[in-house]
């Protein structure tokens, strides 16, 4: 069973196109009246902290999990009928009324399932196209017990007080390789890469901007509200760490051989434990 810190449930930087306006009691009451059901208490707590977005914790064997919020723009919490072609509901063998989608893509969804209990919903996985529905948990809290911290298996951490740019320059010099900046377009924080033993190694900071959006995307105009605000990708490891993404064993071996005497380098999952 995973203990989930609700305060650190949401992934940063916040991807602004998936973020809705802060959830007020009035908006919550209006939404619950509209769908005809009360949302689980823990789900409400999470949406009061952040109204939608990517999460740091994910169900087993899942990455890049989204939990939809309540608002005017998609993606958002809605009865499943509003996400699918209504004609398809005529071809499924189960009743779709009472299924409230909070995550999904195309014709498959994770839903609050109020069909057998209008007060305490179960959690169901629904595949409309394959005419399948499966109960995955008997409550939202039980569902969260299936979540674990989403840690990339290729992530390693380096203890250093150097800013990331200086750190990667130091690494490149000791490894006798070139490095380059990738900018912050992909994830909202600066990234670097260098080729070690013929394979790319990426470097990213643990301290990142609070939020990001690309020009032209929804809520890009709200980015200014977060100017100068930062947080940690992994608060579990603290301020002084940078992260290396190392895919290849030969790259790892060379890095440890040439840098191991000067820097402490550990797997991220080991460091957190």
Positive or negative, the Cα torsion across 33, 35, 40, 43? negative
Q: How far is CA 62 from CA 54, 67, 88, 93, 239, in A?
A: 12, 13, 27, 27, 27
What pLDDT, on the 0 to 100 scale, is given for residue 171? 98
∠ CA 215-220-225, nearest 5°, is 135
With 90 as the cut, is the pLDDT of residue 54 above it?
yes
The mean pLDDT value for 165-193 works out to 98
What pLDDT, on the 0 to 100 scale, is given for residue 62? 86
Count other C-beta atoms under 10 Å from residue 212's C-beta.
Answer: 22
Contacts of 191 (CB under 8 A, 6+ apart): 181, 182, 183, 184, 202, 203, 204
Task: Answer yes or no: are the C-beta atoms of 123 and 116 closer than 8 Å.
Answer: no
Q: How confident is the prediction for the chain on average, in pLDDT?
A: 95
Q: For 63-75, what is each residue's pLDDT tens digit?
A: 899 999 999 999 9
Q: For 227-245, what is each residue's pLDDT tens digit?
A: 999 999 999 998 899 999 9
Of 201, 158, 155, the residue nearest 177 (C-alpha): 201
Task: Answer yes or no: are the C-beta atoms of 67 and 76 closer than 8 Å.
Answer: no
DSSP letter string, 77-144 = -EEGGGTS-GGGGGT-SS--TTEEEEEEETTEEEEEE-SS-SSS-EEEEEETTTTEEEEEESSHHHHH
With 50 as the cut, is the pLDDT of residue 201 above it?
yes
Of 224, 198, 194, the residue nearest 211 (C-alpha): 224
With 60 as the cut, is the pLDDT of residue 1 above it?
no
């Amino acid at each position: 069973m995973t203990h989930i810190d609700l305060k650190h449930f949401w992934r940063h930087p916040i991807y602004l196109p998936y973020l809705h306006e802060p959830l007020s009691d009035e908006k919550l009451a209006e939404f619950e009246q509209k769908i005809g059901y009360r949302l689980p208490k823990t789900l409400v707590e999470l949406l009061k902290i952040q109204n939608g977005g990517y999460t740091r914790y994910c169900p087993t064997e899942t990455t890049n999990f989204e939990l939809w919020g309540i608002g005017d723009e998609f993606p958002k919490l809605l009865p499943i009928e509003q996400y699918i072609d209504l004609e398809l509901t005529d071809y499924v063998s189960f009743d779709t009324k009472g299924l409230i989608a909070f995550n999904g893509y195309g014709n498959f969804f994770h839903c609050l399932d109020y069909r057998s209990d209008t007060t305490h919903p179960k959690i169901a996985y629904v595949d409309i196209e394959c005419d399948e529905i499966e109960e995955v948990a008997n409550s939202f809290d039980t569902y969260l017990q299936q979540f674990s911290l989403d840690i990339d298996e290729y992530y390693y951490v380096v203890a250093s007080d150097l800013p990331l740019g200086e750190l990667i320059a130091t690494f490149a010099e000791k490894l006798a390789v070139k490095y380059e900046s990738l900018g912050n377009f992909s994830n909202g924080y600066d990234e670097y890469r260098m080729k070690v033993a013929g394979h790319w190694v990426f470097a990213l900071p643990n301290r990142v901007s609070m939020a990001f959006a690309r020009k032209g995307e929804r809520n890009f105009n709200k980015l200014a509200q977060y100017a100068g605000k930062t947080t940690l990708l992994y608060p579990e490891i603290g301020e002084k760490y940078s992260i290396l993404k190392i895919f290849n064993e030969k790259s790892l071996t060379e890095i440890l051989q040439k840098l191991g005497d000067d820097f402490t380098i550990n797997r991220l999952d080991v460091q957190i434990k």
